[in-house]
Amino acid sequence: MSARVLVVDDERQIRRALKEALVDEGYSVVAAESGEEALRLFDLVPPDLTILDLGLPGMTGLEVCRAIRERSRLPILILSVRATERDKVAALDSGADDYLSKPFGMEELLARVRAHLRRWRETPEPERQVQVGDLRLDFDARVVTLRGEEVKLTRTEYEVLRYLVSNAGRVVTHGMILQHVWGPAYEEDVQSLRVHVAHLRRKIEPDPARPRYLLTEIGVGYRFVLPG
Amino acid sequence: MEKARQRRSPLAYALAAGYVGAGTLALYLLRGELDRPHAALLYLLAVVVTATTAGSGPAILAAVLSFLAWNFFLLEPVFAFHLSQARDWLTLSVFLIVALVVGELAGKARERAAEAEARLREISRLNEERQRLTEEAAKVSELRAADEFKTALLSAVSHDLKTPLASIMASISNLQRQRALRGGSADEQETLAAIDQETKRLSALVSDLLDLSRLESGAWKPVREWYDLADILGTVLGRLDDATAARVRLDLPDDLPMVPVDGVQIAQVLWNLLDNALKYSPAAEPVTVTGRVEEGRLRVEVADRGPGVPVEERERVFQRFYRPSQRGDEKVPGTGLGLAICRGLVEAHGGRIWAESREGGGSRFVFDLPSAWPEGAAREGKAA
């Protein structure tokens, strides 16, 4: 069965163009022009993924995002002209998985939709073992290997990596990582997070100066990318 | 205090002698009318007047002079001094005590008056200051309102320009995909490609213009955090396709310290400089990015093997809408705003940016920024 995508945008032309592209890709599409309508549709015909605009009349995009998160962990992709880092962090903290700013590349958007649907379908539960290129992570044994050789990680590096990998494909904010790994009191310590990520890259990236897996979203956080 | 000191000047003493002299003259004119005790009262008056107007010192002089005059002119035998009797000493003592007590009291009263006057002046100064501050606060809040208005206006304009552009770009991309599936004429393909290219150009121009307005209106201030330059560069390179990214060589020391910058803004500076360098350099030539922290400044160079920038254009390249003088037939696409934005962003960080020629051909764009946290800059941990 084809995946269903819920498109929420108050601009008719954007809804039309998105619907056309998504239908061409084989998805079934439900469209809403307000947050209230989106939530009604979400309950009526539950989608597999939501593409959500932030600047909506009535209920704001962020409120819709939080309301969807109360119902489900299904992927939410924000598509908005509001593209400052503050907007992005607010959306991600409200439960969004990813963010694209308008005007956007349709191919880029379709690629992200595919990636999130694949991640969601293949790994509805956190995996115990992950293979990323030459890198293998075994969460049960707490062992990370690169081309068969064990990589020595500090406890903090391991925890940061584990959090990023278990959220692979999603953008996670500095605050989320710090809160998860260090605890709520350390939410502001972005500087030390950067140091740990730099060390981690030296240990797991083929070329740490040009990261492949552990990507920086400047001013927002990080994204761990699974190839494919 | 100033007044009290003035009253002790020679003039004050002369005044004391004058009062006593005037008292004596009055007695001379009224001679025969007054008896001695009343005459003494007249001298006492001279002492009191001196004490109240001129202070203790002149008052003591007045007391002594009054006593002598009273003694000389009024006591039998007249026109001679005599200090033999107890009453003479008593008179002198009374004059002196009155002089001291009244002089002291008057001095205190004058000090109080001076203090009160000073306090009044201080109050009126404070009032003026308060009024000035109120006016300034009003100005600041006016400016802030204007700033907020500009920001709101920019974000509204930004929304209204970007939304239709987003629809157009999405529709073009749908048309191109559908055409690729069902086929179509070469003309159709060319027309679509032209629309696509020009729309992207328009979109880039809108984005650059909005960035420049945000910068110039002061609505886009750097939000500093400690950043790793290598991290920013890695992210910028990630936006290039693999083949283009492979043309960039990085020369950064492993121990390059973190620097306090707005990561998004410095990423944009690096992106604009790299984009230019890659556009103007022959495809076979690498573009080199060098980063160093020396003497409290971060210095970053982006060096290419392009045609170079003539000396006379080195300053102009950073002006808005500057386009390089045409070389050959090929026109390099661009908005003419990239370097102006770079300069705005670098200067907002308290830095400098300039162009140099590179030995062996090509140009080098260099910027340097303070590598220490600037005094007074907000210490925001989060990208808020």
Please tell me the distance from the alpha carbon of residue B16 to that of residue A93, in angstroms, as a whole number: 88
All residues at 6 or more sequence positions from A2 whose CB lies less than 8 Å from its CB, including other chains: A26, A27, A28
Strand partners, B225: B261
Residue A86 and residue B384: Cβ atoms within 8 Å? yes
Phi/psi at B267 (5° precision): -60, -40
Give the minimum alpha-carbon distance from B313 to chain A in angstroms, rounded to a whole number: 33
Is A106 in contact with A21 (CB distance < 8 Å)?
yes
Tell if the CB–CB gap between B383 and A89 is shorter than 8 Å. Answer: yes
Residues of A in contact with B175 (CB under 8 A): none
Whether B245 and chain A come into contact, CB under 8 Å, resolves to: yes
Cβ-contact B296, B257 below 8 angstroms: no
Residue B325, min C-alpha distance to chain A (Å)? 31
CA distance A121 to A1: 12
Share of chain A above pLDDT 70, in %: 96
ipTM, 2 dp: 0.88
8 Å CB contact between B165 and B199: yes
Spatial CA neighbour of A14 closest among B342, B217, B159: B159
Hey, is the C-beta of A199 within 8 angstroms of any chain B C-beta?
no
CB-based contact (8 Å) between B163 and chain A?
Answer: yes
Q: Which residue blocks in B30-85 are alpha helix, DSSP H?
A: 36-54, 56-69
* Residue B142, min C-alpha distance to chain A (Å): 25
Question: How far is it, in rounded angstroms, from Cα A210 to Cα B245?
Answer: 9
Count the Cβ atoms, other than its own, within 10 Å of residue A46.
13
Sheet holding A171-173, edge to edge: A171-173, A221-224, A214-217
Contact B264 A86 (CB under 8 A): no
* Closest C-alpha to B222, from B70, B378, B30, B5: B378
Structure tokens given for B127: 């009032």
Check if B283 contacts A (Cβ < 8 Å): no
B222: closest chain A residue by CA: A219
Q: B159 to chain A: which residues are within 8 Å by CB? A: 55, 81-82
Query: How confident is the prediction along chain B (384 residues), in pLDDT tens digits per residue?
Result: 444 444 557 888 888 888 888 888 887 787 777 777 777 787 888 888 888 888 888 888 888 888 888 778 777 777 777 777 777 778 778 878 887 888 888 888 888 888 999 999 999 999 999 999 999 999 988 888 877 777 777 778 888 899 999 999 999 999 999 888 888 788 888 999 999 999 999 999 999 998 988 888 887 889 999 999 999 999 999 999 999 999 999 999 988 999 999 999 999 999 999 999 999 999 889 999 999 999 999 999 999 999 988 998 899 999 888 877 655 545 667 788 999 999 999 999 999 999 999 998 999 999 999 999 887 766 654 333
Strand partners, A5: A29, A49
Q: Is some CB atom of chain A closer than 8 A to the CB atom of B264? A: yes
Question: Is residue B226 less than 8 Å (CB to CB) from chain A?
Answer: yes
Best of A78, A216, A217 to mutate (most B CBs within 10 Å, chain B):
A216
Task: Take residue B115 and report the two structure tokens written for it.
Answer: 């203090």
